[in-house]
């Protein structure tokens, strides 16, 4: 049993690539939590894809024992959080489980957009924040400038910011001392009824669902019968323990401690993040103020390239959904692509990560349809429909108006690229809300339609600013606009996988770009193929793919010209007939490339 005043719970927040996971590695290593021989880079990032992309996707936790300079033993519970905007909900719930944060800022780059987003979440959760300037071993480091920037942009005192190099280990001891001295200990009553917050959960093939909990009040012991307050399910606790990264079982968890429990729970869906866990008898009366469940914002269809792999795909998706409660899916069929799933994601990176995991961990080749967002379609009879897939758009004669989701985007960009960024946002139908300066960098705030952002806005932003811009967004609601459904017809057949919702003013340019692209991507057949873009019954763009021709006159040498003519006429008639029955094969690359929008 640890005295409450000797526990410190903290998270590390920062923009992507500012060194959170490396700093966590050094803290773990310098306290001897993990033997040097077991140490590896990004120790807390367990997934292959996290290591490969160098990003954190799941928030991870570790318990560190530390003997401070004053000789006291402290228990430090560290939660390493993701920095990417798509996983902001992971950050928000991790924040609620701890009392303080280390704000890591790269001393060569300064404050970035997601540094702001994440630090505001920490401030919302009433955290004590300790600024840490990382990468001071690099020649471009400028600690004074960055400390000033933290004070200007975020408004917290950075005069005592700790200077560290997580790579070389400079300043790690000072960081540990600051955690102990500056961060507050947790509060909690040992004798009160049990209240534990469910911070995260994931599926393990041997133990069932592992639940990460933060005990607020009371004590949790092995063998207790617990109740989840959200769905009233009762479970029997099999084991409890802590992570020192490997699991280590303990007899009990007291107030202020962070650990895990297993209770033979079969599905992650039964463990709602932010739920309150209490004892079945003499439990708490009211739940902790909860989180909002995460809402998917981007939808797309996932189809197997080989239809025989559909059952394998169903299996893979169900297993991933066990681990990721923010990922939703339902079955759908498509004339062009066969059976598949319509899936909901938190953003494009989330989509890419799930797709990569299915392809890699389950060895299934996928076709991904164009990402789309949820539109609110208001019908003439007053009903409102949520439209997830453009192919399901109701008949326009019954539609009164369509609303699309809008976001508030914050972009931090060096001065010289500001013009390009403003042009990009204007091109994407953005409305400028604010423009301020922090040193030599501009902070632009725009109101943008989400469907213009989900495609490739982030890639375009990185390319026009040579990678120097940083971008963060939050949903601000729906607004009416003049939107239409654009269909692509190949050989007079609509290809539902290529249907998209576009703004009326953009439809023709977008349609023309799409058909020109498809003309290059679809291989030529033995007959002519018209490729058209249409809105309703009106064709707005067309390209014709010429037919391949077999040289039927090769065997005619000399002789009468009518012989050649006869053969060509026969070929022509054959091609006409072929075109009536001819099925056009559209290769998978054509789908993927057609859906990438270039400027």
Task: Examine residue 188 and state whether it is found in any structural domain, yes or no.
Answer: no
Kindly report the backbone phi and psi dihedral angles of residue 477, in degrees, each rounded to the nearest multiple of 5, phi listed first. Answer: 125, -170
Residue 330, SS3 per DSSP: strand
Q: Is 142 annotated as a binding residue?
A: no
pLDDT given at position 336: 64
Distance in angstroms (rounded) separating the CA atoms of residues 48 and 257: 29
Q: Please report the pLDDT score of residue 492 as a whole number.
A: 81
CB half-sphere exposure, 100, CA atoms < 13 A: 20
Domain assignment present for 288: no
Q: Looking at residue 303, what is its pLDDT?
A: 85
CATH code of the domain containing 428 = 3.30.70.240
DSSP code at position 364: -
- Range in 55-59, 416-420, 468-472, 507-511 with the lowest mean pLDDT: 55-59
Q: Which domain holds residue 208?
A: 195-279
Do residues 419 and 406 touch, judged by C-beta distance below 8 A? no
**Per the domain annotation, does 235 fall within a domain?**
yes
Claim to verify: residue 57 and residue 166 sit in the same structural domain: yes
Instruction: Let me know whether 244 and 319 are in one domain.
Output: no
* CATH code of the domain in which 335 resides: 3.30.70.870
Q: What per-residue confidence (pLDDT) applies to 46? A: 46
Q: Does residue 9 sit in helix, strand or coil?
A: strand
Per-residue model confidence (pLDDT) at position 51: 47
Query: What is the per-residue pLDDT for 579?
Result: 60
| 144 and 231 share one domain | no
**pLDDT for position 322:** 65
Whose CA is closest to 263, among 303, 293, 304, 220?
220
524 phi-psi bin (left φ>0, alpha ψ -120 to 50, beta other)? beta
Please tell me the distance from the alpha carbon of residue 314 to that of residue 310, in angstroms, as a whole number. Answer: 6
Q: Is 277 annotated as belonging to a binding site?
A: no
Q: 422-426, 555-559, 594-598: which has the minimum mean pLDDT?
A: 594-598
The model's pLDDT over 483-492, given as tens digits with 9 standing for 90+, comes to: 888 888 888 8
* pLDDT over threshold 80, residue 468: no
pLDDT at residue 85 tops 70? no
Average pLDDT over residues 560-568: 81
563 domain residue, yes or no: yes
**Residue 443 and residue 420 share a domain:** yes
User: How confident is the model at residue 589, as a pLDDT?
Assistant: 65
Residue 286 lies in a domain: no
Domain boundary among 481, 497, 523: 481
**Of the residues 481, 516, 537, which one is the last residue of a structural domain?**
481
How confident is the model over 356-376, as pLDDT tens digits? 888 888 888 887 777 778 888
Contact 329, 314 (CB under 8 A): no
491/580 same-domain check: yes
By percentage, how much of the chain surpasses pLDDT 90?
0
Whether residue 447 is annotated as binding a ligand: the answer is no
Distant-in-sequence, close-in-space partners of 98: CB < 8 Å, separation ≥ 6: 9, 10, 11, 77, 79, 127, 214, 258
Does 307 carry a binding-site annotation?
no
Residues 160 and 174 occupy one common structural domain: yes
Domain end, chosen from 481, 508, 523, is at 481
**Total Cβ atoms within 10 A of residue 484:** 18
Q: What is the pLDDT of residue 208?
A: 77
Q: What is the CATH number of the domain that holds 572?
A: 3.30.70.2570
Q: Determine phi and psi for 442, rounding to 5 degrees.
A: -95, 145
For the chain, percent of residues with pLDDT exceeding 70: 84
Quick one: 56 and 69 in the same domain? Answer: yes
Question: Torsion-angle region of residue 363: left (phi > 0), alpha (psi -120 to 50) or beta?
Answer: left
The rounded distance, in Å, linking the Cα atoms of 289 and 527 is 65
pTM above 0.75, yes or no: no
Average pLDDT for residues 78-104, to the nearest whole number? 72
Kindly state whether residue 187 falls inside one of the protein's structural domains: no
**What's residue 598's pLDDT?**
44
Pair 517, 431 in one domain: no
> What are the b/e assignments for 250-263, b being 16+ CB within 10 Å?
beebbbbbbbbbbb
384 and 361, same structural domain? no
22 annotated to bind ligand:
yes
| 187-221 tens-digit pLDDT | 888 888 888 888 777 777 777 778 888 888 888 88
DSSP 154: I
Task: Answer yes or no: is 21 a known binding residue.
Answer: yes
* 290: in domain: no
Per-residue confidence (pLDDT) for residue 28, from 0 to 100:
77
174 vs 3 pLDDT, higher one? 174
Q: Are residues 355 and 209 in the same domain?
A: no
**CATH number of the domain bearing residue 106:** 3.40.50.300
Question: Is pLDDT above 80 for 549?
Answer: no
Q: Are residues 477 and 395 in the same domain?
A: yes
pLDDT the model gives residue 47:
47
Query: Mind listing the pLDDT tens digit for each residue in 278-335?
Result: 887 877 777 777 656 667 778 888 888 778 888 888 888 887 776 666 778 888 887 6
* Domain containing residue 200: CATH number: 2.40.30.10
456 annotated to a ligand binding site:
no
The answer to the question of whether 20 is labelled as a binding residue is yes
Under the phi-then-psi rule, with left for phi > 0, alpha for psi from -120 to 50, and beta for the rest, what region is 451?
Answer: alpha
Asked whether residue 512 falls in the same domain as residue 554, the answer is yes
R_g (Cα) of the chain, nearest Å: 29
* Residue-level pLDDT at 56: 47
> What is the DSSP pairing of strand 247-249 with strand 252-253?
unpaired
Instruction: Supply the mean pLDDT for the chain.
Output: 78
Q: 491-526 pLDDT, tens per residue?
A: 888 877 778 888 888 888 888 888 888 888 888 877
Number of domains in the chain: 5
In degrees and rounded to multiples of 5, residue 554 shows phi and psi of -60, -35
What pLDDT, on a 0 to 100 scale, did the predictor assign at position 594? 67
Q: Is 293 a domain residue?
A: no
Give 10-37 pLDDT, tens digit per residue.
Answer: 888 877 777 777 787 777 777 766 655 5
């Amino acid at each position: 049993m640890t005295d409450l005043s000797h526990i410190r719970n903290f998270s590390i927040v920062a923009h992507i690539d500012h060194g959170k996971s490396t700093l966590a590695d050094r803290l773990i290593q310098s306290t001897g939590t993990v033997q040097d021989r077991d140490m590896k880079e990004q120790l807390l990032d367990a997934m292959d894809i996290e290591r490969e992309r160098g990003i954190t996707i799941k928030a991870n936790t570790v318990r560190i024992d530390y003997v401070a300079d004053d000789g006291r033993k402290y228990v430090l519970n560290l939660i390493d959080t993701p920095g990417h905007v798509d996983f902001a909900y992971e950050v928000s719930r991790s924040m609620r489980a701890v009392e303080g944060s280390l704000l890591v800022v790269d001393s060569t780059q300064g404050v970035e957009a997601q540094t702001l987003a994440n630090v505001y979440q920490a401030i919302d959760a009433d955290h004590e924040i300790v600024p840490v300037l990382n990468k001071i071993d690099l020649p471009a480091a400028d600690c004074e400038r960055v400390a000033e920037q933290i004070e200007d942009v975020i408004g917290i005192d950075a005069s005592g910011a700790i200077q560290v190099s997580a790579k070389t280990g400079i300043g790690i001891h000072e960081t540990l001392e600051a955690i102990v001295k500056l961060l507050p200990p947790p509060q909690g009553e040992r004798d009160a009824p049990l209240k534990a917050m469910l911070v995260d959960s994931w599926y393990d093939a041997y133990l069932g669902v592992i639940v990460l909990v933060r005990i607020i009040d009371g004590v949790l012991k092995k063998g207790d019968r617990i109740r989840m307050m959200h769905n009233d399910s009762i479970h029997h606790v099999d084991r409890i323990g802590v992570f020192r990264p490997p699991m280590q079982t303990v007899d009990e968890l007291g107030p202020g401690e962070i650990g895990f429990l297993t209770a033979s729970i079969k599905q992650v869906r039964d463990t709602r993040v932010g739920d309150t866990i209490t004892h079945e008898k003499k439990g708490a009366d009211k739940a902790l103020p909860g989180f909002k469940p995460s809402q998917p914002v981007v939808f797309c269809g996932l189809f197997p390239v080989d239809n025989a792999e559909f059952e394998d795909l169903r299996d893979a998706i169900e297993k991933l959904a066990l681990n990721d409660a923010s990922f939703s899916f339902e079955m759908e069929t498509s004339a062009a692509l066969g059976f598949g799933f319509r899936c909901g994601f938190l953003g494009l990176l989330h989509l890419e990560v799930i797709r990569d995991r299915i392809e890699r961990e389950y060895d299934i080749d996928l076709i991904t349809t164009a990402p789309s967002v949820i539109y609110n379609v208001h019908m003439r009879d007053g009903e409102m429909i949520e439209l997830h897939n453009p192919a399901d758009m109701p008949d326009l004669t019954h539609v009164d108006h369509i609303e699309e989701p809008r976001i508030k985007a914050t972009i931090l960009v060096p001065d010289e690229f500001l013009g390009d960024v403003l042009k990009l946002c204007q091109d994407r139908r953005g409305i400028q809300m604010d423009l301020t300066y922090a040193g030599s960098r501009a902070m632009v705030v725009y109101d943008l339609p989400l469907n213009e952002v989900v495609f490739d806005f982030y890639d375009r932003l990185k390319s026009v600013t040579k990678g120097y811009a940083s971008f963060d967004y939050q949903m601000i609601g729906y607004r009416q606009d003049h939107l239409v459904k654009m269909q692509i017809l190949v050989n007079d057949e609509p290809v539902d996988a290529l249907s998209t919702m576009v703004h009326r003013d953009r439809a023709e340019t977008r349609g023309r770009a799409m058909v020109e692209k498809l003309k290059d991507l679809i291989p030529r057949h033995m007959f002519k193929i018209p490729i058209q873009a249409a809105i309703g019954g009106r064709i707005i763009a067309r390209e014709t793919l010429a037919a391949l021709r077999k040289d039927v006159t090769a065997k005619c040498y000399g002789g009468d010209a009518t012989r050649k003519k006869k053969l060509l006429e026969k070929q022509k008639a054959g091609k006409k007939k072929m075109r009536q029955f001819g099925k056009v094969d559209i290769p998978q690359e054509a789908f993927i490339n057609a859906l990438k929008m270039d400027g």
